[in-house]
Chain A
Amino acid sequence: MDALIIETVVKAIVVLLVISALAGFGTYLERKVLAFMQRRLGPMHVGPFGLLQILADGIKLFTKEDIVPQHANRLIFMVAPAITAATAFIALAAVPLFPEFTLFGYTIRPIVADLNVGILFVLGAMASGLYGPLLAGMAQANKWGIIGSARTAILFLSYEVVTGLSILAPIMIVGSLSLIDFNNAQAGGIGDWMVWQQPVAFVLFLIAGFAETNRTPFDLLEHEAEVISGYATEYSGMRWGMFFIGEYANMITISFVASLVFVGGFNPIGFIPGFLAIILKVSFFFFLMLWVRASWPHVRPDQLMWLCWKVLMPITIVNILITGIVLL
């Protein structure tokens, strides 16, 4: 039992550190990719190829003055970013990141907690991330913040439905809520990938995932041209940085979930070992998010709702029905 606790704590710390480092690295990647797609160079001057830009930004964020507006609800204002960051990492707890491997004769399963309701936990934790932007926007006594948080509420609540329903069909096929089971169900190579059985669910999950992570084309809650910075308007320094880390951590989580559920997880593909396979897949999904941001304009709030309730949700339900009928 003690060993389990120690192992879990160590895993948690490792995940926390690695993923937050990756989140930082994500910002670098995002800037680079967007730059290339616009024929620019992106960050270049801090370190080789601008790699140390993350460090510079980190120093900047840590050393910036922490400003709390006069009429803000101080406690909630200060806690809200932590909620966003925390929920993003908590969601990762139930995600198996890599295949099992052996280190110093000790078999390590790279998952913090293998819950039997893993997928449900992930979705639930991510959904509770809603509180971060919502509370932040409402606590800061700023009209843009209020609008931002209102948008957050409708966006998250609406697309939660799509996410949940779209992933229901794969769950029905696999018959388990554990993400490891999902992975194992697709162990038979590329042909076994869930995406071939459930293409519609895959597309819908991706669309909903974009919305869950506030990515373009659904970044309405902090869209500069309309609401300054939405819920993050009054934030500065590290508190604002935590929203960022949360967002990038969420992006990684969604990428992992999508890889695990739909495209074969960490099963090796031919000569490619499992851990490399999942890194490639996650990288692709992460890149896709940046790519989409570089290519597409964002939608209007009314289009967003219309899309969710009148297009995506009916399609998911139809998909579930068809899946159910086929399974029967």
Chain B
Amino acid sequence: MSLEKFKDRNIGNQNYTLIGHEAFPQTGGEKFERVMKRMLKGELFVGLWVTLRTMFQALFKGEMHTTKYPFEKLPISPRYRAIHEMLRLLESGHYRCIGCGLCEQICISDCIRMDTRYDENQRKEVSEYTINFGRCIFCGYCAEVCPELAIVHGSRYETSSEQRASFSLFEDMLTPIDTLKHQKEYPGFGAVSPNADENIKKTPLAY
């Protein structure tokens, strides 16, 4: 398809077809006729009836849709992308992050930074980790790229705070050790698909 069609900016000359639209009244008589028709047909009263019905349903049939937000919260989807969480290993309680730096690299708003070091146990330790939430756009790439399911998007969507520094340190995002027992294998954004096993080739690790 050529681009000419898109470059035609002569708006209003397109051949639009009006669907289910009666002819527009031309003369005064026709207009008067239409007004009378609409008035007598009671369309206006249908509108009144709808709102009245809704009011009664809301008041007496419990169909009120308001959630009193700070006191009540709606359940959100596990795939919702709010403030990040750092998960721990369910068995050992050690944090999952291995410091690979993929989240830092993939971050399109360049808001993740980490410092790593060689620790006493000959492992790579994340000595510092921050997310600048002033810049984060919650795109979820970090959670998606994380090979360990260590950084995930949590459900804490109330991101306003008095200080920009809030939530942004590793310790703030890390699951507190005493609530580890509530941590479940994370099903949400970035988790492996339920049928992941079917999609990988098995290697002979018989030992």
Contact = CB atoms under 8 A, between A and B. Distances in A.
- Complex: A in contact with B (CB within 8 Å): yes
Contacts of A294: 51
A292 interface: yes
Given A36-B58, A36-B59, A39-B54, A296 B65 contact: no
B66 A296 contact: no
B35 A295 contact: no
A310 to B, nearest CB: 7
Given A44-B68, A311-B32, A311-B35, A37 B48 contact: no
A296 B51 CA distance: 10
A204 to B, nearest CB: 12
Chain A interface mostly: helix
Interface in A32-57: 33, 35-41, 44
Interface in A281-316: 291-292, 294-296, 306-307, 310-311
Contact of A40 (B35, B52, B66): B66
**Size band of the A side of the interface?**
10 to 19
A302 to B, nearest CB: 12
A295 B58 contact: no
A296 B45 CA distance: 10
Nearest to B70: A45
Contacts of A307: 35
Nearest to B67: A41
A296 B55 contact: no
Contact of B52 (A39, A291, A311): A291
B28 A296 contact: no
A291 B48 contact: yes
Interface in B17-70: 28, 31-32, 35, 44, 47-48, 50-52, 54-55, 57-59, 63-66, 68
A168 B188 CA distance: 71
Given A39-B64, A40-B64, A310-B28, A296 B52 contact: no
A291 B54 CA distance: 11
Contacts of B52: 37, 291
Contact of B55 (A37, A44, A306): A37
A40 B58 CA distance: 8
Interface residues of B, number: 20
Contacts of A291: 48, 51-52
A37 B54 contact: yes
Contacts of B51: 37, 291, 294-295
B64 A38 contact: no
A53 B47 CA distance: 29
A325 B165 CA distance: 83
Given A36-B55, A39-B58, A295 B50 contact: yes
A39 B32 contact: no
A41 to B, nearest CB: 4
A295 B65 contact: no
Given A40-B64, A44-B68, A296 B54 contact: no
Interface string A73-113: 00000000000000000000000000000000000000000
A291 B51 CA distance: 7
A41 B58 CA distance: 9
Contact of B65 (A37, A39, A44, A310): A39
Given A44-B68, A310-B28, A39 B63 contact: yes
Contacts of B59: 36
A294 B55 CA distance: 10
Contact of B48 (A36, A38, A40, A295): A295
A311 B59 CA distance: 38
Contacts of A310: 28, 32
Nearest to B35: A311
Nearest to B66: A41
Interface in A312-326: none
Ranked 10 nearest A-B pairs via Cβ: A295-B47, A41-B66, A37-B51, A36-B55, A39-B65, A295-B51, A294-B51, A39-B58, A37-B55, A295-B48
Interface of B: 28, 31-32, 35, 44, 47-48, 50-52, 54-55, 57-59, 63-66, 68
12 contacts: A36-B54, A36-B58, A37-B52, A39-B66, A40-B58, A40-B65, A40-B66, A295-B44, A295-B50, A296-B47, A311-B32, A311-B35
